[in-house]
Amino acid sequence: MDALFAHYPMLAQIPDIVPTLERKDPLALAAGTLLFTEGQPCQGFPLVVDGGIRVYKQTENGREIPLYRVQSGESCIVTTSCLINGSRYDARGITESLTHIHMLSVATFRSWLIYPAFRDYVLGLFAERMSDLMTLVEEIAFRRLDARLAAKLLGHGRIIHTTHAQLANELGSVREMVSRLLKGFESQGLIQLGREQIEIVNPAGLRAISS
C-alpha cells in the first residue's frame, strides 16, 4: 500500500480510499501475461505498483506496432478511453516483467472521477500519452527507418542485449528489414553484431545517421 501511494500520491486526496483498496489484493502477473487484447471489454483500471505493461497494435500478419509503456505511477490511455466511452479495447497490453497492479473496478474508476486530484491525473497523463502517440505516428510516417534504428541503439551503453526481432517490434517494422540495416551498420564499422547482443563501436557515426 505504501508503494502504491508513493507512485500515485493523488490517491491520498480520495476519501475512505484505504478500505476500498484493501478489499482486493494486488495482482501478481508473470512476464508475458496478456492483460488485455482487441475486442475485449474493459474490466478495470490498472494502477502499476512495479513492473511494466507494453501496449501495442498487432496486424493480421503478426507485425507489432508499439504504442507506449505503462510503468509505476502511470496510466493506460487505451484503458481510460474504454472506461470513459464504454467501448472495447482496440490494442493489446502485455507485461514485460513480473508486474504487480491494483485493478480498480469500472464503478470505482468512474466514481473517483468526481475528485479533482484523480480527474486531473487521468486527464493529464491522457494528454501526455496523446502527444507521445502523435510523435510516434510522425516518426513512422516521415522518418527513415535507418535513422530511427540508429537513434534506438544510442543511449543504452556500449553493449545492448536484444534481438533483431525485438528491435523490429520496438520500431514497428519487420525483422528482415532491421537485420539488413544492422548488417549495413556493421559493414560501415558502426556496430559489431553478436548473438542476441549489439556492440556500439562508433556512436558518433550512429548519431550522424539518426539526425
In the structure, what pLDDT confidence band is assigned to residue 142 with cuts at 50, 70 and 90?
A: low
Confidence at residue 211, expressed as pLDDT on a 0 to 100 scale? 84
- 161-193: per-residue pLDDT in tens? 999 988 888 887 778 888 989 999 999 999 999
In the structure, what pLDDT confidence band is assigned to residue 33 with cuts at 50, 70 and 90?
A: very high
CA dist., res. 68 & res. 194, Å (int): 28
Helix, strand or coil, per DSSP, at residue 208: helix
CA distances in angstroms from 123 to 68, 98, 117, listed in the order given: 16, 27, 10
Confidence at residue 173, expressed as pLDDT on a 0 to 100 scale? 79
Confidence at residue 67, expressed as pLDDT on a 0 to 100 scale? 86
Confidence at residue 63, expressed as pLDDT on a 0 to 100 scale? 75
Cell triple for 154: 544510442
Average pLDDT, the chain: 88
25-45: b (≥16 Cβ within 10 Å) or e: ebeebeeebebbeeeeebebb
- What is the share, in percent, of the chain residues with pLDDT greater than 90? 55
- 82-135: per-residue pLDDT in tens? 998 889 999 999 999 999 999 999 999 999 999 999 999 998 888 888 887 787
Radius of gyration for the chain, computed over Cα atoms and rounded to the nearest angstrom? 20
Helix, strand or coil, per DSSP, at residue 46: strand
Mean pLDDT computed over 65-73: 88
Confidence at residue 141, expressed as pLDDT on a 0 to 100 scale? 66
CB-CB contact of 21 with 102 (8 Å): yes
- 40-64: per-residue pLDDT in tens? 999 899 999 999 999 998 877 777 8
Q: At which residue does the C-alpha cell 510516434 appear?
A: 136
In the structure, what pLDDT confidence band is assigned to residue 202 with cuts at 50, 70 and 90?
A: very high
More confident residue, 108 or 137: 108
